[in-house]
Amino acid sequence: MNTRTESQRCLQRIEKTLDTETLLGAGSASFLLRLGQHFPRLYDLLSTVYQDVDDFDLVMENLVRILLDCYQERPDRLKKKDEQRLGDPQWFKSENLVGMACYVDLIANDLQSLKSRIPYLSELGISYLHLMPLYKAPEGDSDGGYAVSDYRTVNPSLGTMDDLRELSEALSEAGISLVLDFVFNHTSDEHEWARAARAGDPEFSKYYYLFDDRSMPDAYERTLREIFPQVRRGSFTYLEDRDQWVWTTFNSFQWDLNYSNPSVFCAIASEMLYLANAGAEVLRLDALAFIWKELGTTCENRPNAHKLIQAFNCCLQIAAPAVVFKSEAIVHPDDVVKYIEPEECQLSYNPLLMALIWNSLATRKTRLLNQSLSHRFAIHPDCSWVNYARCHDDIGWTFDDGDAAAIGLDGYDHRLFLNRYYTGGFEGSFAVGLGFQFNPENGDRRVCGSLASLAGLEEALGTGDKSLVDMSVARILLIHSIILSIGGIPLLYAGDELAMLNDYSFQEDETKKHDARWVNRPRITEEALAEAARPGTPQNRINVALRQMISLRKANVVFGSGKTRILPTGNDHLFVYQRVHPEAGNLAVVCNFSDHPQMLDKGILQPMGLGDRAIEQVSGEHLDLHSIESLKLEPFQFQWLMAD
């Protein structure tokens, strides 16, 4: 029997047990319709992953019951949103979307007081708000909330689930989409599943990877990458009380879930839909690359990880279709794009653009940026990048060594240089940053620091040299100009709109001092807001210009649904791209990464359809393109050009 008929047979059986008559009467018609539409695919995906499971039909029956329960619990407001989004599936491609990521307790005190920050966010133009994990988590170090002890309970210091629901409604009324983390690779060791496993419960022991001796951990570690080598060497943690080893890719208190067990898939699907029903419009798939383990491989980006993510997406299509996935794959660019499909993740962080912007600032050259993006920027037309320069994490240099080799760079050496450049080991560097997770085995390390400090503002303010301050301001605006215009959802990290510097207070905190990423997670203080509001300060110049760029973006569809073309310039310091839109016309963005003026040959601009006269959108300046031979760009200057 082929899987199509098998799935039909299975669905018919399940529908019989569901009593569809009553369901239709109870307003579940659209659920049944969508179940019929998506069940064959869901069956197909899961049956290949779980082909060795005996009672597979029972797994499917259990899953459909979970989906139905979640659908029935879904608030009417969100069911309306489902219909609305199904009619406008590309809503996230709108120029109107501008994102921010923040910790609830660092931008406000708790969920209640965050409500009073909505006017601030709206006024800045924010329409997509990622609240860092706000769930119940261990006291003390919880990896910034990424060790979840209960997906259905808000961390008591931040409020309650009702507060979260209320906030999501208030955000929605203000036109802001709520983004929540779906931390599904691991739970904290305090999650009730982990506690049960630790107590020897046979069912929950199968939720994790527990080993009685080192033989399997050793076998796996032969091919694993170490993610947090400064926390603990290897990827396993010894549990003294049980005399067992548990798989912990990240911190020792984050236990990896065992997705080879279909009960884990079903249990997590239920938690996922609970978050969807709390009002999340986007779920950020944390550490999604790691969910499938296979001996003899890196246990990252495995084909079955993709199948599982697609299956989770299928569950959303059936029970909460307003919700989209954002991939957090901070991995090799070839692997990043494999998660980006309408049926898998509609959105994805763009870690390559992020890393290459910092590379170009350090080297003043755009060759690697051009070389890489010219063949890597284009993704599925129904999906979108989330472009960011800084986030709550470190910077990893995830460019491709082949792209580096193509312009004569050795990837390994170049990463060593970048790490030195951004962590104080390179004389003359403008950047102030900290190293993160040094691995003595391969010399690898990553970089932490706030956007403003890494771009030179901390150093410049320290010297008091006005020209250095001006340069760092220009660098910071250059970075923002790119993420706002290159195509995709721009995502600011809270505090970057105020050009906040590194926050070293974590070094005094016992629960944080071993994790340098806290240097780039500042508390938004009244002082920082005042500094950015005071005319003439560098923070104010940045804030004012950023606000202006955001409003320009939101006023022109060319920033939304258009297409991007990266253009070679013949000048190693310039980065030029074009946004093409059938109705709005073309936008040409030209960026100078050099600390010297650079000339852009007019021949590059000519085919962009700007005509003889152009307007630079930010300054409003008119340019006569007819009478010039080349366009002059000041150090770190950018221009957004459109036909006059």
Nearest-angstrom CA–CA distance, 486 and 356:
14
Task: Please give the sequence-ordered ranges of beta strands (E in DSSP) within 552-627, or none if there are none.
Answer: 563-567, 574-581, 585-592, 598-601, 613-616, 622-624
Of 20 and 252, nearer to ligand OTU (C-beta) is 252
Nearest-angstrom CA–CA distance, 118 and 88:
25
Q: Contact between 287 and ligand OTU (CB under 6 A)? A: yes
The least distance separating ligand OTU from the CB of residue 351, rounded to whole angstroms, comes to: 8
Sign of CA dihedral 335, 341, 343, 344: positive
Q: Which stretch binds ligand OTU (CB under 6 A): 92-100, 141-149, 449-457, 476-484?
A: 141-149
Sign of CA dihedral 356, 449, 108, 547: negative
Active site residue 218: no
Q: Which stretch binds ligand OTU (CB under 6 A): 142-150, 259-267, 562-570, 601-609?
A: 142-150
Phi, psi at residue 184, to the nearest 5°? -115, 5
Of 163 and 181, nearer to ligand OTU (C-beta) is 181
Q: Contact between 286 and ligand OTU (CB under 6 A)? A: yes
Of 183 and 477, nearer to ligand OTU (C-beta) is 183
Phi, psi at residue 437, to the nearest 5°? 55, 55
Coil, strand or helix: which one is 573? Answer: coil
Query: Can you tell me which of 44, 61, 112, 144 binds ligand OTU, judged by CB under 6 A?
Result: 144
Q: Considering CB under 6 A, how many residues would be counted as binding ligand OTU?
A: 15
Quote the DSSP letter at residue 345: B
Of 67 and 330, nearer to ligand OTU (C-beta) is 330
Q: Judge whether 449 and 434 are in contact, CB under 8 Å.
A: yes
The least distance separating ligand OTU from the CB of residue 132, rounded to whole angstroms, comes to: 8
Distances in whole angstroms, Cα of residue 421 to Cα of each of 63, 358, 460, 529: 51, 10, 16, 30
Quote the DSSP letter at residue 588: E
Query: Can you tell me which of 174, 227, 239, 529 binds ligand OTU, judged by CB under 6 A?
Result: 227
Q: Which stretch binds ligand OTU (CB under 6 A): 36-44, 281-289, 373-381, 478-486?
A: 281-289
Q: Which stretch binds ligand OTU (CB under 6 A): 96-104, 138-146, 453-461, 578-586?
A: 138-146
Q: At what angle do helices 56-73 and 3-18 cross, to 10 degrees?
A: 50
Of the candidates 85, 95, 104, 165, the one whose C-alpha atom is nearest the C-alpha of residue 127 is 95
Of 392 and 579, nearer to ligand OTU (C-beta) is 392
Of 189 and 328, nearer to ligand OTU (C-beta) is 328
Q: Contact between 255 and ligand OTU (CB under 6 A)? A: no
Distances in whole angstroms, Cα of residue 376 to Cα of each of 42, 234, 353, 431, 571: 30, 32, 10, 27, 20
Of 74 and 191, nearer to ligand OTU (C-beta) is 191
Nearest residue by C-beta to ligand OTU? Answer: 146
Phi, psi at residue 463, to the nearest 5°? -80, -25
Q: Contact between 552 and ligand OTU (CB under 6 A)? A: no
* Footprint of ligand OTU on 312-371 (CB under 6 A): 328, 330-331
Distances in whole angstroms, Cα of residue 286 to Cα of each of 44, 129, 156, 392, 484: 25, 16, 22, 13, 24
Of 227 and 545, nearer to ligand OTU (C-beta) is 227
* Footprint of ligand OTU on 379-418 (CB under 6 A): 392-394
Q: Check 328, 394, 403, 515 and give the catalytic one.
A: 328
Nearest-angstrom CA–CA distance, 132 and 101:
7
| Residue 638 β-bridge partners | 591
Q: Check 286, 300, 444, 503 and give the catalytic one.
A: 286
The least distance separating ligand OTU from the CB of residue 332, rounded to whole angstroms, comes to: 10
Active site residue 55: no
Query: Can you tell me which of 82, 95, 143, 281 binds ligand OTU, judged by CB under 6 A?
Result: 143
Catalytic residues: 286, 328
Q: Which residues bind ligand OTU (CB under 6 A)?
A: 143-144, 146, 183, 227, 250, 286-287, 289, 328, 330-331, 392-394
